[in-house]
Structure 1
């Protein structure tokens, strides 16, 4: 295999980008087949042209980040961008995971202040950190993506977003060592459908609620998704922290979900504290309300199918369970039945409830 290691590759890419950016009408930025070792780079706008970033080859991240950048391939201040091509982003993560010194581990492909954009037919493997990130983006569609890292890889979220709205994620296969999809502060109006997650930590809202400068998360739809061998499935997590202003997670719908051998299929955790260093825990200041779970079925590896651990000071409100059918994997259900756990939650259940609803 031929590798292209030119030290001037970043310079050449940026020169081509500037030419495409100032063109009239439509322009294509094409990376042909081949393998290219590329240092961190920022493709910035605004641009006059409508640009298609067409990755046909493989981009290989540096093992040792030569800069203080936190994102490897970064798109900023762009409108009506298209990213496609069938190529591969190889984050070289196995050589970087666990490194305790040096410059930051790189997130794979990042979008900041990018609007009205389509990202499709791209492969991302072994990212050092999160594979794809979005910050203050609007109206982005991600489809036909394959995202892959081993289950032991740390912090390799598949798709992560903050302060973004109008995000559509569909027909995506994610296998990773952290959340398949993570929606954190200020995420609104997200539609997720036909996502296959496994391995990984499920599709998560949060964590959030630890700082005073965070924003609501609302209007989230997760439909027709499959979780296979993940630690979690449908997850909402907030920190046990008092807040100076109201903060909420609301209007969330999970529908037509397939669960295959998942440890914790349905989980609201308002005492989220992964390092157990939260000191004297207080009730979470996040108000969770209007959350619906419809047609969730499959098999569970753990003892608890549904665990709603809500805030004592801000109980979960209007939580709805409709047609939930979860059983223990294989023949283990004969030994110990599954159970549901609820605390500080108010809601209603309809249709089949296996195991029996706890409110």
Structure 2
């Protein structure tokens, strides 16, 4: 009987305790590296770049990873690159506000805050990124000057893998708000992006040469594309994103560079656009080098007063001089627009302008319901050099 009592005590008291201790060793609470402990001062004057870098380096170097904490307050921060690889997962927790420089001597670089070569990175905390774009936008002359100097992207992720970015607010970036390059398996959620509708080149989220990227539950109001997806992008999922003002959801522009990788496996769904310059757009240069954009799905999209709601543009030319006889060599195929509905601010609500050299193939319009109430007449559609089909309700009608 006594032996049974010992066994009973072990099973119900000691065993759970031992298991919890073992679990704690497998999943240790990451050590916290508070930037205040490294000399950071939230006084909006002190340049805290070195303090942030020291905190990052200690968290990154620690076996098992660490947690960089930016407490509440406003911290001036210069251009900085947080570099891996690290010895474990790192959390970068921004509870306060990071403030960029408004001095022109600090502008001409391609990043403000960058993370490079990091695996299992988490960026979040509910804080703010204050880009002070208004001090820099008038320097943006790239539309007319091929030798224009770069302005900093607010937050870059280069060669970042298996990571999460969430609960961050970016305000008035000097260039794009977020840029993902050569990233894999990154989830962005609950992001808030804000810049005026006339702020130049302030793309919300810019994606290139990346795969398995998910963007969800995000609000983007900016002066350029809310989300732009460039060459080399594969398996991109965008869901429950609100865009407006801005230039809409854009794939491209494609075909402007040598050896461009294909774009494939793009899904944009369950999202809304409000008062944007474009809606769902695929754009390629003409003339252009060969590449491919395929297996693209736009599904369950609500539009309110959107110009060019559905737009495939294979003669993209944002600035004159434009050669309207030139043709794109980017093949666009297997693209579906499904359950797209709302109001158009342009009479031509569906515009599919494909290349004579490589006509679009497999374009599907499924249950399209776009209303135009302007002075130019009934809503209409326009299609050129396209092979495809339409199914279900079609307003406007007569395109495919």
Q: TM-score range by the shorter chain?
A: over 0.9
C-alpha distance after superposition, 1:254-283 (max 9, x if no partner): 110001000110000000010123447421
Secondary structure at the counterpart of residue 21 of structure 1:
helix
Which residue is 1:66 aligned to?
106
Alpha-carbon distance in structure 1 between the residues aligned to 2:340 and 2:324: 36
1:65–1:129 distance in 2 versus 1, CA, 3 Å? farther
Which residue is 1:95 aligned to?
135
1:100–1:294 distance in 2 versus 1, CA, 3 Å? closer
Alpha-carbon shift at residue 100 of structure 1 (Å)? 5.5
Structure 2 unmatched ranges of 5 or more: 1-41, 142-147
On the 8 A contact 2:275/2:306 being kept in 1, the answer is yes
On the 8 A contact 2:113/2:155 being kept in 1, the answer is yes
Structure 1 unmatched ranges of 5 or more: none
Secondary structure at the counterpart of residue 186 of structure 2:
strand
Alpha-carbon distance in structure 2 between the residues aligned to 1:77 and 1:277: 40
On the 8 A contact 1:217/1:250 being kept in 2, the answer is yes
Alpha-carbon shift at residue 4 of structure 1 (Å)? 3.5
Answering whether residue 377 of structure 2 is matched by residue 336 of structure 1, we say yes
Which residue is 2:305 aligned to?
261
Alpha-carbon distance in structure 2 between the residues aligned to 1:289 and 1:199: 29
Which residue is 2:269 aligned to?
223
Which residue is 2:260 aligned to?
214
Alpha-carbon shift at residue 357 of structure 1 (Å)? 3.3
Secondary structure at the counterpart of residue 311 of structure 1:
coil
Which residue is 2:239 aligned to?
193
On the 8 A contact 2:140/2:200 being kept in 1, the answer is no
C-alpha distance after superposition, 1:198-237 (max 9, x if no partner): 0000000000112222111110001001000001110000
Which residue is 2:91 aligned to?
52
On the 8 A contact 2:107/2:152 being kept in 1, the answer is no
Secondary structure at the counterpart of residue 224 of structure 1:
strand
TM-score norm. by structure 1 comes to 0.95
Alpha-carbon distance in structure 2 between the residues aligned to 1:13 and 1:4: 15
Alpha-carbon distance in structure 2 between the residues aligned to 1:280 and 1:268: 15
Alpha-carbon distance in structure 1 between the residues aligned to 2:140 and 2:307: 30
Secondary structure at the counterpart of residue 230 of structure 1:
coil
Which residue is 1:300 aligned to?
344
Larger-gyration structure (1/2):
2
C-alpha distance after superposition, 1:26-55 (max 9, x if no partner): 411011111111110000000002100000
Which residue is 2:228 aligned to?
182
Residues 239-278 of structure 1 aligned to structure 2 (within 5 Å): 239-243=285-289, 246-278=290-322
C-alpha distance after superposition, 1:283-338 (max 9, x if no partner): 10100000001111000111110000000000000100110000014xx47x6101
| Selected match of 1:170 from 216, 229, 232 | 216
Alpha-carbon shift at residue 68 of structure 1 (Å)? 4.9
On the 8 A contact 2:302/2:340 being kept in 1, the answer is yes
Alpha-carbon distance in structure 2 between the residues aligned to 1:67 and 1:289: 40
| Selected match of 1:83 from 120, 123, 129 | 123
| Selected match of 1:321 from 365, 375, 384 | 365
Alpha-carbon distance in structure 1 between the residues aligned to 2:129 and 2:363: 40
On the 8 A contact 2:140/2:151 being kept in 1, the answer is no
Which residue is 2:21 aligned to?
none
Secondary structure at the counterpart of residue 159 of structure 2:
strand
Alpha-carbon distance in structure 1 between the residues aligned to 2:316 and 2:184: 29
Alpha-carbon distance in structure 1 between the residues aligned to 2:70 and 2:389: 53
1:234–1:59 distance in 2 versus 1, CA, 3 Å? same
How many residues get paired?
Answer: 352
On the 8 A contact 1:20/1:28 being kept in 2, the answer is yes
Structure 1 window deviating more from structure 2 (277-286 vs 194-203): it is 277-286
1:193–1:5 distance in 2 versus 1, CA, 3 Å? same
On the 8 A contact 2:71/2:94 being kept in 1, the answer is yes
Answering whether residue 277 of structure 2 is matched by residue 234 of structure 1, we say no
TM-score norm. by structure 2 comes to 0.85
1:100–1:290 distance in 2 versus 1, CA, 3 Å? closer
